[in-house]
Structure 1
Amino acid sequence: MNIKQLDFFLFIFRKYPLLIVLNISCLVVGGLIDAVSIISLIPAVDLFVNPDLQNVSASTRYIIEAMKYAGISPSLGSVLAIFVLLVLVRSIFYIFSRYFIVKTRYRLQGNVLIGTFEDFFNARWAFFARNKQGILLNTFTREITNVGEAYEVISNYIAYILQCCIFILVPFYISWKVAMVSLGCAIVFMLPFVFFGKVGYRLGQINTKMANKMISVVQESVSSAKIILGFGRQAQSQSSLAKAFDALSRATIKSQTLTNAIPQMYYPFGILVLVITMYVGRTFANTLSEIVAVLYSFMRILPIVGNIMAQRTYVNHFFPSYEQVTGLRRNAVELRQTSGTRPFPGLNSAVRLEKVSFAYSDDEAVLRDVDMDIRKGKMIAVVGRSGSGKSTLIDIIMGFNQPLQGTISIDGIPLREFDILSYRNRLGYVPQESTLFNMSIRDNLLWAKEDATESDIVEACDIANASEFIRDLPEGYETMVGDRGVRLSGGQIQRIALARAVLRKPDILILDEATSSLDTQSERLIQHAIENIAKSTTVIIVAHRLSTIINADHIYVLEEGRVIEEGTHAELISKNGSFSRMHLIDTDAGRERKAEGNNEDDARSP
């Protein structure tokens, strides 16, 4: 066992000391009983060869004296009965040992699973942005299972070592000279097999890498199914999956073949050890019964030694999985979401950004010296071309990212001082591409606020202009929306997402380009809903289509991460600046969309 494996086992021991102690205790007791059962063969052989108990070994005499002292008549039948009884008791202890190993494995696996999930989802958004979803999914679906299996393999490894140590006591008890020669030969024959541990580790690394790639292909293909079908590129995705699986299967076949081959490769050397044992035993003039007991001990040890080497290779194969899990968890902890301790009581006055700047890693700044004043009860709009920093600004307001310079404060208190969960619990958020969960409309709404009443749900859907289409559905609020809401239209998904956000009765409602991908009618419905919400809630809206922010109380125009203009819609139009030009382009695009909609209506008319 190398240092890494020892650290892994000690890590588990610190978490589950009682289970580990019980496991080792059962192994030790079972092994000792096993050793005694082997010694009990010595009088059985002597009684079989010499029923009159003449010229028997010293071990047989000791055992017969012990049987007489216990009131047991020494005979071949009674000795064999003791042997069978010892084997039965030994099996019971080994069964309990296996139970504790499996129980510890699944406790460990559950602990790692929940702990990994907790670490990932307590990290900042940057953690998810920097890691491929396929790797994260593979960590949960495969690598954590391998960590549990690695513990089981290490437990077997330790169990086999303990059994070897106990079984070797029997030959030493009978003849230390024979035992030393035989053990020395066995160790010499084992040395070449140490090399296979490194091979198993390299194959494990390849296995983990290929599993990550395969799950990434599956995840990307499933999430992009509509695009793949629309472009007719199924064959390309299937080919990528096949290549990833072939690479994974090749590494797995090599690894499992190596693990299964090692005991078979050692077997001839083990037989040679038995031959040497017989010869040496005869040379040192041991009795037949003693030679039988020594041979039986080494016959028991022989497959165990092969398994020790196989398990060592196997655990090296699983170790890259443990390294990936611990590496990702360490990365998540390094990127842990910072949070204050002050409960967020709600917005009373305003959210202010002062000289806020932000950049991703060492990249060029995305935001530069941004000043904003978001007053309670107002609708604030943020507009700008793609890449101007709008979504990054929203991420900072939501606490996903921390400003590199400047401050963001709420009612004069820095955001970093508030408990981030209590703050986000008072926010409503609708992104550009909202996601619904694969459950009913009602459950999707209740996900945001579990204690919402029926009247709360209906009110939120009324505000979001979602009630009408929900009532038209055959199952109404009990309609299953499918994975990510696939059974609904884009406009319907956005309205349910808006209702979900409104249901929380948030202090601040954040809409990140929530209408940019919708048709004109859906956009109009969402726009009316936003105007209704803005009467009682502070709204921050990032807009792609400027028609949705005509009634905004204040508009900020971003360009290359800076606020270049601000004011009301009318004020910005009158300046004939960047916003005015954007408005002109948006108005022309709006006319084209309206004309296309009218043409479609005319085409449907008889």
Structure 2
Amino acid sequence: MLLLNKTLLRLARGLWQWILAIAAVSFLTLVGTTALAEIVSQFLGSLFEPQVVLSTVKSAVGAAFLASVFTFLAQLIKGLIEYKTAAKARSTMRKTIFSKVMELDAGGIEKIGPTSAITAAVDAVEQMQAYFSSYLPSLIFSVIAPIYLFFHLKNISLIVAVLLLFVSLILFPLHNVFRGKIEALRKTYWRSLDDMTGYYMDGLRGLTTLKLFDRDREHSRVLGEKADVLNKNINAFMKINFTSFLVTELLIYAAITVSLVICITGMRNGDITIAQALTVLMLSYSYFSAIRQLMSASHSALTAISAAGKVEEILQTDTSRPYNPELPADPEHFDGIRMEHVSYGYEGRSRALQDVSLTIPRGSSVALVGLSGCGKSTAASLLMRFCDPDQGTIFIEGKEYRSVTPQQLRTNIAMVPQQVNLFSGTIRENLLLADPNANDEKLKEALSEAGLGSFLKTLPKGLDSDVGNAGAALSGGQRQKMGIARALLSEAQYMIFDEATSSVDPQSEREIWETIGRLSKTRTLIIISHRMSTIQNANCIYVLEKGVVAQRGSHAELMQQGGLYRELVTRQQAMEVAE
């Protein structure tokens, strides 16, 4: 079956020398096997001749032994090269996929989904490596082997040699009949794998919640149903593979049977000797050993092609970002950030922002408020250039923000998200992400400014204290403060706080807002918060409603205007009184 896939062939770059080496050693194995078959056939045929002597037996045994040793060593080397190829393929593919994922911004990750990225880098790679270590070498070998054996058999019986060669060659196009069904199943299989994997991961992350509400058995039942769907799709693949295997075996045995009939007829006519007939019998099986080897690798190739479809979605994701250093500067020469008639929508959803214009003067504090889903976090993502606007323009420090690369932009803008991500390791290692050259004094200064100075002094190992798996050794408030410290180390002039206190305890929330208050004296802040009382001192407050700017002004001005802002403030005051 010619299961050639452009994605897998592209990923084979750097592996072809290994693939060809496996095919070459397979050919050497065939050479040894053929020599052994001919030696044994000649010896068995000579037993029917009266002039057989001891020296002939010794010669045959010695030659057979050497051929066997040669074949064994070739097989041993082949296994070693296959192992090396598989290891090299895993390493190469994971580097390629990981590099591509690392090129994606938040919008790209959302498009492909974290679960798909995981299954592509883990499950898909495991399934694809066999394509390089087994299928491609078998495919090359299955073309060479019949031609080599043809020249060994044509002098015995041209009809038999042509018959076996013909059958071996028609097996390739014959198996392409199954290709359409395989392609139809490919996307279904991977959707079911993603679905089950994602549901399983959700269950692990939310196990406490499931136990709390006694829903773990229900979750387990649904997971079992999803596993059954995946199993059904796997069985569909196996069914097609088995059918193709059955057709192949029927043709192979039919060809061998016809060859034997021809040889028996030739022996009766005196055209073929017993030794030659035995050679045909033994090499007929070798004739199709390459085809059988290819067939045994076909199932791996099928799953590899299915896996390649998922990887292709990631590799084809456009990670290029508009960049033109010649774009005109801000005609207003505004000293700060200016968004002008910006619109943006996520794929498959209504627009998150519609014709939004706002200004953030350098040295000021600007707040974005509104109901959930109004576009606040989308505005922050645009400012960080995790995504680019569908319409409109953003100017930063007088430059059109597409006239600089995202990496250059982010040296001027830092962000503290709703949930700060920490990596397993030490406090020092997590902070050095922002400034790899920072010394201990600078790290401690950032921690102190973020409100973690006292906490650091209580740790015996100080900066070398382990934060645990994803920061599990720290409280929610401490993780958020680590995020602030990391942002401070970047020395960015502009800092975005996107609901930075929404998941912390009241005490930590007060401490973080005190830190933000101190930062407002030295940095330009863009604050997104559901806590209305904390943004009242902002120089300007933008009220977003359904993706548009509904109101703007200071706290006092907005309270006089009424509308959504006053409604939000009044509602929160009532909740605080009730508490």
TM-score between the two structures when normalised by the length of structure 2? 0.86
CA distance, structure 1, for counterparts of residue 299 and residue 216 of structure 2: 39
CA distance, structure 1, for counterparts of residue 184 and residue 131 of structure 2: 16
Contact kept? 1:193, 1:309, Cα under 8 Å: no
What is the match of residue 85 of structure 1? Answer: 66
1:146 to 120, 123, 127: 127
Is residue 2:545 matched to residue 1:559? Answer: yes
Is residue 2:230 matched to residue 1:244? Answer: no
CA distance, structure 1, for counterparts of residue 258 and residue 23 of structure 2: 32
What is the match of residue 114 of structure 2? Answer: 133
Is residue 2:310 matched to residue 1:324? Answer: yes
Secondary structure (helix, strand or coil) at the match of 2:98 reads helix
Q: Which letter does structure 2 place at the counterpart of 1:424?
A: R
Deviates further, 569-578 or 215-224 = 569-578
Q: Which letter does structure 2 place at the counterpart of 1:406?
A: G
Secondary structure (helix, strand or coil) at the match of 2:541 reads strand
Q: Which letter does structure 2 place at the counterpart of 1:216?
A: G
Is residue 2:211 matched to residue 1:212? Answer: no
CA distance, structure 1, for counterparts of residue 287 and residue 62 of structure 2: 23
Q: 1:83 to 1:138 in 2, by over 3 A?
A: same
1:295: Cα distance to partner?
0.9
Q: 1:453 to 1:44 in 2, by over 3 A?
A: same
Deviations 1:417-460 (A, max 9, x none): 11111222443211122232233333322333333222222211
Secondary structure (helix, strand or coil) at the match of 1:564 reads strand
Contact kept? 2:147, 2:165, Cα under 8 Å: no
CA distance, structure 2, for counterparts of residue 386 and residue 231 of structure 1: 26
What is the match of residue 109 of structure 1? Answer: 90
Contact kept? 1:203, 1:317, Cα under 8 Å: no
Contact kept? 1:164, 1:305, Cα under 8 Å: no
Q: 1:447 to 1:51 in 2, by over 3 A?
A: farther
Deviations 1:207-259 (A, max 9, x none): 43332122111222223334323323211221222222233334445655775
Gaps of 5+ in 1: 55-72, 594-606
User: Alignment identity in percent?
Assistant: 23
CA distance, structure 2, for counterparts of residue 428 and residue 202 of structure 1: 46
1:296: Cα distance to partner?
1.0
What is the match of residue 535 of structure 1? Answer: 521
CA distance, structure 2, for counterparts of residue 422 and residue 525 of structure 1: 31
Deviations 1:382-422 (A, max 9, x none): 22222222111111111122222221112221111111112
Secondary structure (helix, strand or coil) at the match of 1:447 reads coil
Q: Which letter does structure 1 place at the counterpart of 2:109?
A: F
Deviations 1:449-486 (A, max 9, x none): 33322222221121111233444457654454444434
CA distance, structure 2, for counterparts of residue 190 and residue 442 of structure 1: 59
What is the match of residue 232 of structure 1? Answer: 214
What is the match of residue 329 of structure 2? Answer: none
Secondary structure (helix, strand or coil) at the match of 2:351 reads coil
Q: Which letter does structure 2 place at the counterpart of 1:585?
A: R
Secondary structure (helix, strand or coil) at the match of 1:173 reads coil
What is the match of residue 120 of structure 1? Answer: 101
The residue correspondences of 1:126-525 to structure 2 (distance < 5 A) are 126-151=107-132, 152-181=134-163, 206-252=188-234, 255=237, 270=252, 273-284=255-266, 285-330=271-316, 332-333=317-318, 336-339=320-323, 349-361=335-347, 363-472=349-458, 477-525=463-511
Contact kept? 2:426, 2:465, Cα under 8 Å: yes
Secondary structure (helix, strand or coil) at the match of 1:75 reads helix
CA distance, structure 2, for counterparts of residue 371 and residue 270 of structure 1: 73
Q: 1:12 to 1:524 in 2, by over 3 A?
A: closer
Contact kept? 1:384, 1:558, Cα under 8 Å: yes
2:558 to 554, 564, 572: 572
What is the match of residue 30 of structure 2? Answer: 31
Q: 1:194 to 1:469 in 2, by over 3 A?
A: same
Contact kept? 1:470, 1:476, Cα under 8 Å: yes
Contact kept? 1:34, 1:86, Cα under 8 Å: yes
1:142: Cα distance to partner?
0.6
CA distance, structure 1, for counterparts of residue 81 and residue 323 of structure 2: 40
Q: Which letter does structure 1 place at the counterpart of 2:522?
A: S
Contact kept? 2:130, 2:300, Cα under 8 Å: no
Contact kept? 1:202, 1:317, Cα under 8 Å: no
CA distance, structure 1, for counterparts of residue 191 and residue 563 of structure 2: 52
Q: Which letter does structure 2 place at the counterpart of 1:365?
A: R
1:270: Cα distance to partner?
4.9
1:84: Cα distance to partner?
2.5
Q: Which letter does structure 2 place at the counterpart of 1:149?
A: A
Q: 1:435 to 1:6 in 2, by over 3 A?
A: closer
Q: 1:31 to 1:304 in 2, by over 3 A?
A: closer
1:584 to 567, 570, 573: 570
CA distance, structure 1, for counterparts of residue 216 and residue 126 of structure 2: 30
CA distance, structure 1, for counterparts of residue 488 and residue 337 of structure 2: 19
Q: 1:280 to 1:399 in 2, by over 3 A?
A: same
What is the match of residue 21 of structure 2? Answer: 22
Q: 1:555 to 1:83 in 2, by over 3 A?
A: same
Deviations 1:237-292 (A, max 9, x none): 21222222233334445655775787688667655544443332121231111111
Deviates further, 218-227 or 528-537 = 218-227
Q: 1:259 to 1:119 in 2, by over 3 A?
A: same
What is the match of residue 11 of structure 1? Answer: 10
Deviates further, 580-589 or 531-540 = 580-589
Secondary structure (helix, strand or coil) at the match of 1:373 reads strand
CA distance, structure 2, for counterparts of residue 357 and residue 206 of structure 1: 35
Contact kept? 1:123, 1:337, Cα under 8 Å: no
Contact kept? 2:413, 2:496, Cα under 8 Å: yes
CA distance, structure 2, for counterparts of residue 186 and residue 217 of structure 1: 45
Contact kept? 1:356, 1:406, Cα under 8 Å: yes
What is the match of residue 330 of structure 2? Answer: none
TM-score between the two structures when normalised by the length of structure 1? 0.83
Q: 1:184 to 1:155 in 2, by over 3 A?
A: closer
Q: 1:468 to 1:230 in 2, by over 3 A?
A: farther
Q: Which letter does structure 1 place at the counterpart of 2:216?
A: Q
Contact kept? 1:157, 1:312, Cα under 8 Å: no
What is the match of residue 66 of structure 1? Answer: none
Q: Which letter does structure 2 place at the counterpart of 1:355?
A: H
Contact kept? 2:11, 2:93, Cα under 8 Å: no
Q: 1:587 to 1:156 in 2, by over 3 A?
A: same
Deviations 1:11-55 (A, max 9, x none): 35654443344343333344344434433345433544436379x
1:356: Cα distance to partner?
1.8
Deviates further, 229-238 or 477-486 = 477-486
Contact kept? 1:262, 1:306, Cα under 8 Å: no
CA distance, structure 1, for counterparts of residue 58 and residue 334 of structure 2: 91
